[in-house]
Amino acid sequence: MGTLANLSGKIKAFFGQHQGLPESIANLALKDCPWLAVDFEFSCMDPKTAKFMSAGWIEGTSMGIDLESGYYRLIRAKGDLAQSPIIHGLTARDIAHGSHVKELFEQIIQFADSHVWVLHNAQLDMVMLKQLSIRLGMPLPTIVCVDTMQLALYQLHKTMSVIPTGAATLGACRERLDLAPALAHNALSDALATLELWLAQMHILDATGQTTLQELKATGAIKVFARPVA
Amino acid sequence: MSDIPHQVSDFISKSAPFDVLDEDKVSAIATKTKVIYLTPDNQQALLAEHQPSLFLIQTGQFTIYDENGAERFLSDGDYFGFIALMEPGKGQIEVKIDSPGVVYCIPKKMFDVALENRRVKKFFADAKDDVLLNQAVEDSNSMWLYKPLHEQLTKAPIQIEQHDSIQLAAQIMSQHGVSSLIVTEDDHLIGIVTDRDLRNRVVAEGMDISLGVNTIMTENPAYVLHNQNMFSAISLMSEKNIHHLPVLHADDRSPVGMVTTSDVIRKQRGNVLFMIGELSKTANLYELTRIAWQMPQYFAANAKRAGDFDIAGKVLSQATDIMTRKLIAFFIEQHGPAPMGYCWVVYGSQAREDQTMGSDQDNALLLAQSPNEAEAEYFKQMAEYVCKGLGKCGIKLCDGNIMASNPELRLSVDDAVVQAKKWVNQPTPEAILAFNIFLDARAVEGDRALFKNLQQRRKPLFKNDFFLAALARNANSDAVPLSVFNKFVYRKHNGKKDCINLKVNAIALINNLARLYSLSAGITVPNTVERLNILGQINVISTEHANNLRDIWLFLNRLRWRHQLRNNVTDNIISVSDLSSLEQHQLKASFKSIHRAQQTVVMKLSGGIA
């Protein structure tokens, strides 16, 4: 527990303490929010050595998910890819032919101002994105995220004191809400699966969609990642 | 260029009728599709935003009310909104969300693209008119001989270029053990050479064998195309009096094989109709059982297409008839002629001519009058010999003891009429279960006038209203395996969770309906398809309704035959995941139709009391 609190503290330090929501969107109702569901695949789970393998995202609003906005890229990489390519079904050759990670960074940060990002377990993805920005020497704008995993945990905590292992995975969360099983381990597939989950979660949270982002903060599912206040 | 998530193209391409479209079309449709999460709170806004669209349900349960107030319960894999797309101004719907879920909205523009495919168009046209999607039933007349040639050719074509020598031709022929060669120019057929040409044009004439094979070939020979059938091939060979017929590919006319007279003879040996001839030729029980035991393999090897399954039950029933007649003949050879008139009657599936590999025997003996002790003994022995003999031929003994070997099933015509009166006067549910099977009956051997007499005398009894009402209620005691929301209701079987008993929960229900209407109309033919045809013709039920039930029956029958032959089993319990997406849709549509027909029969025959 101590290490976890420690890590959480480090992350907060890394991003800056308790960032508030940008005023412009704090009072935006969920039904009016533009969403961007994002998922990255990494070569391993250790932020120190992990590399971006692929990225996928897709846009939507409460009126629907726009499949035309689907984006999927493999990231060109060098060196040791650990075990992950096997899990992700990618071969070294696929990866060698992918996009440069800089291109990915440039494209995705264009959505920082226009969309609230939706991720299932935002922490690792955002730490990786931050590190990438440092490595590329490019600034990372403020990003507002909804974490569907945190929201699921918030909802689970209401009914049980001990959360069973695996209860908050994307698959388990979708199953609880009667959504179709989705293929795991493809960044775009997971992004769509996450966005569908978020639409279903919103319905349970507030069927009318009047809740604002500021109000949603109470669930712990809203996260703001920004440069540390210098 | 946008990227399509795998699960989207998977879902669309697995949803009939989109499963017939190629990958590019599916991607094009997917790109323009919107995915919504439809809830009671947002439905008004979402439907207003996306209509007109084709709505394809991925999850959730919805009730759709059409402009006439009729309601449909829909869930995974079902569509709504297509009527408005096909007939602008029509198809106004109201949607009630029973359980929210993910719905794909395919816009009109892309729906129109999909409709360019004939099969997609037919699917939605049929769905609009609420008829069973039976493109599979269209080819119902195909028989064994109508299998396309390319399914039957076993050898690659043996061919030679025109300028190769006569000697090389002879060498190739002996190497491959064939009696003819295709002669080609740039891989295109220009002639054939046969054993006979070598004999008549080379050896007899003392010709130089180093000359080109084109000097002795038959030029521009007759040929058939690979997608034509054996029947066309045989016709052409008889017409031209030839024994070798090259088969060319229909697209580029490249040689794909050769049909010969000996192939035809071999094919006929592999034809189940041929089995009937073989059964008829047997002279004793040993020969009969030896041929009979080969039936399952013959069926498995030869019944591949829908049309084959349509006649498979008939062929098997005919074969069982012949076995029965043979056994009776063998018995009479050994024990002398019968002491009085008798008729061997069959019931159930054999009578209806829809036997499958798992059907057991149901039969009885009808006697001209009550027998004395010696006569009774003779028929007892005959019945035991025949029933056991059928068992040896692979037709299972009946668990319910509905066999002529049971003394209660060797009645005189008079006693059988008395028995029928008893059924009609006391149609308890148990009694109905017990005698339902006797209502499908057919004479197989002996004095058929006895059977006709019984049928005539029973006919008025069976038209009794109370009796029919009791039967109608009973016909409704088994339901199709569909939930209120149109989902299949599964049972477990052999480790598979998604199983459905096609016989008990579907085919038998149509048999019941056809039987009921037939009894009410005094129709005595036992075959379900024939019954439905007659019922439609004489307007006991509408022709459209009768044809629809018939098509459904044929469709279900095909599914179970394919299941039995593919999996080498004798049960009727199919796994839904073994069916194609279109078949799953057809199955659902079939169940819905059967359910409606069941409701109708109760209204008509039992005064609405189910």
Looking at the complex, report in whole angstroms how far the Cα of residue A99 sits from the nearest Cα belonging to chain B: 14
Residue for token digits 């094979």? B213
A98-117 as b/e, with b when 16 or more CB fall inside 10 Å? beebeebbeebbebbeebbb
What six digits make up the tokens of B392? 């040896």
What six digits make up the tokens of B53? 């669209």
* pLDDT tens for each residue of A59-113: 999 999 999 999 998 887 654 444 455 555 555 555 556 778 888 999 999 999 9
DSSP codes of every residue in B453-468: HHHHHHHHHHT-HHHH
CB contact under 8 A, A68 and B31: yes
* Whether residues B391 and B439 fall in one domain: yes
3-class state of residue B486 by DSSP? coil
Cβ-Cβ contacts under 8 Å between A and B: the total is 93
What six digits make up the tokens of B484? 């209120």
Closest chain A residue to the Cα of B100, Cα to Cα:
A200
The domain locations on chain A are 31-225
Q: Is residue B460 part of a domain?
A: no
* Whether residues B26 and B47 fall in one domain: yes
Q: Is the pLDDT of residue A17 over 50?
A: no
Looking at the complex, report in whole angstroms how far the Cα of residue A64 sits from the nearest Cα belonging to chain B: 4
Q: How far apart are alpha carbons A17 and A43 in whole angstroms?
A: 29
* pLDDT tens for each residue of A165-213: 888 999 999 988 989 887 666 899 999 999 999 999 999 998 888 999 9
Q: Is the pLDDT of residue A6 over 60?
A: no
Q: Is the pLDDT of residue A118 over 90?
A: yes
- Which amino acid is located at B392 in the chain? K
What pLDDT shows up at residue B136? 38
- Which amino acid is located at B488 in the chain? F
Looking at the complex, report in whole angstroms how far the Cα of residue A110 sits from the nearest Cα belonging to chain B: 17
- From B237, B268, B299, give the residue that closes a domain: B268
Q: Residues of B with CB below 8 A from A180's CB?
A: 7, 11, 58-59, 102
Q: Residues of A with CB below 8 A from B27's CB?
A: none
* Whether residues B373 and B424 fall in one domain: yes
Looking at the complex, report in whole angstroms how far the Cα of residue B485 sits from the nearest Cα belonging to chain A: 15
Q: How far apart are alpha carbons B446 and B457 in whole angstroms?
A: 19
Please give the share of chain A, as a percent, with pLDDT higher than 70: 80
* Whether residues B238 and B364 fall in one domain: no
CB-CB contact of A104 with A75 (8 Å): yes
Q: Is residue B464 part of a domain?
A: no
Q: How far apart are alpha carbons B304 and A96 in whole angstroms?
A: 48
Whether the CB of B100 is below 8 Å from some CB of chain A: the reply is yes
CB-CB contact of B484 with B73 (8 Å): yes
* Whether residues B91 and B212 fall in one domain: no
Q: Measure the CA dihedral A45/A50/A53/A55, to 10°.
A: 70
* Whether residues B248 and B280 fall in one domain: no
CB contact under 8 A, B2 and A200: no
* Whether residues B256 and B280 fall in one domain: no
- In degrees, to the nearest 5, what angle opens at C-alpha A196 toward C-alphas A191 and A202? 125
- Which amino acid is located at B486 in the chain? N
Mutate to test the interface with B, among A68, A177, A195 (most CBs of B within 10 A): A68
Q: Is residue B125 part of a domain?
A: yes
Tell me which residues of chain A have a C-beta less than 8 Å from any C-beta of chain B: 31, 56, 58, 60, 62-72, 178-180, 182-183, 186, 188-189, 191-193, 196, 199-200, 203, 207-209
The DSSP bridge partners found for residue A41 are A54
Looking at the complex, report in whole angstroms how far the Cα of residue B87 sits from the nearest Cα belonging to chain A: 26
CB contact under 8 A, A67 and B37: no
3-class state of residue A8 by DSSP? helix
User: Minimal CA–CA distance to B516: which of B553, B468, B552?
Assistant: B468
Q: Is residue B386 part of a domain?
A: yes
CB contact under 8 A, A67 and B60: no
User: Minimal CA–CA distance to B120: which of B186, B2, B29?
Assistant: B29
Arithmetic mean of pLDDT, A121-133 = 90
> Which B residues, 281 through 310, put their C-beta within 8 Å of a C-beta on chain A?
none
The DSSP bridge partners found for residue B231 are none
What pLDDT shows up at residue B142? 36
What pLDDT shows up at residue A95? 57
Q: What are the backbone angles phi and psi of residue A99, rounded to the nearest 5°?
A: -80, 160
CB-CB contact of A88 with A190 (8 Å): no
* Whether residues B285 and B415 fall in one domain: yes
pTM of the entire predicted model: 0.57
* Whether residues B228 and B316 fall in one domain: no
Q: Is residue B145 part of a domain?
A: no
Q: How far apart are alpha carbons A105 and B284 in whole angstroms?
A: 86
* Whether residues B122 and B174 fall in one domain: no
**Mean pLDDT, contiguous 10-residue spans, chain B (610 residues):** 86 87 92 95 92 92 81 82 85 88 95 92 77 40 53 82 94 90 92 92 91 93 84 72 88 89 64 68 87 78 68 83 94 95 95 89 95 95 96 89 92 92 82 80 93 91 85 83 86 90 93 92 88 89 88 90 85 89 84 90 68
User: Minimal CA–CA distance to B83: which of B36, B130, B13?
Assistant: B130
- From B130, B165, B187, give the residue that closes a domain: B130
CATH of domain A31-225: 3.30.420.10
Tally of structural domains, chain B: 4
Q: Is residue B137 part of a domain?
A: no
Q: Residues of A with CB below 8 A from B36's CB?
A: 63-65, 199
CATH number at residue B378: 3.30.460.10
Q: Is residue B198 part of a domain?
A: yes
User: Minimal CA–CA distance to A72: which of B497, B364, B1?
Assistant: B1
What pLDDT shows up at residue B271? 56
The CA distances from residue B308 to B142, B311, B350, B570, in Å, are 7, 6, 18, 17
CB contact under 8 A, A64 and B6: no
Q: How far apart are alpha carbons B474 and B479 in whole angstroms?
A: 11
Q: How far apart are alpha carbons B599 and B610 in whole angstroms?
A: 8
Q: How far apart are alpha carbons B185 and B214 in whole angstroms?
A: 10
What six digits make up the tokens of B577? 């995941």
Q: What are the residues whose beta carbons fall under 8 Å from the beta carbon of A53, sequence distance 6 or more? A: A40, A41, A42, A43, A74, A75, A77, A81, A84, A85, A88, A90, A95
What pLDDT shows up at residue B208? 92
What pLDDT shows up at residue B279? 83
Range of the domain at B182: 152-268
Q: How far apart are alpha carbons A107 and B534 in whole angstroms?
A: 70
* Whether residues B280 and B263 fall in one domain: no
Closest chain B residue to the Cα of A188, Cα to Cα:
B5
Q: How far apart are alpha carbons A51 and A45 in whole angstroms?
A: 9
Q: Is residue B466 part of a domain?
A: no
Q: Is the dihedral of CA B305, B311, B316, B318 positive or negative?
A: negative
CATH number at residue B565: 1.20.120.330
What six digits make up the tokens of A22? 């940008």
Residue for token digits 């019922």? B535
What six digits make up the tokens of A3? 């290490």
Q: What are the backbone angles phi and psi of residue A140, rounded to the nearest 5°?
A: -105, 120
Residue for token digits 């199955």? B587
What pLDDT shows up at residue A151? 94
Looking at the complex, report in whole angstroms how far the Cα of residue A127 sits from the nearest Cα belonging to chain B: 25
Q: Where are the beta strands (DSSP E) in chain A?
A: 35-42, 52-61, 64-66, 71-74, 116-119, 143-147, 222-225
DSSP codes of every residue in B287-306: HHHHHHTTHHHHHHHH--SH
CATH number at residue B159: 3.10.580.10
What pLDDT shows up at residue B139? 39
Q: Is the pLDDT of residue A11 over 60?
A: no
* Whether residues B495 and B400 fall in one domain: no
User: Minimal CA–CA distance to B366: which of B475, B457, B238?
Assistant: B457
Using left for φ > 0, alpha for ψ between -120 and 50, and beta otherwise, residue A68 falls in: alpha
What pLDDT shows up at residue A148? 96
Q: Is the dihedral of CA B283, B284, B290, B293 positive or negative?
A: positive
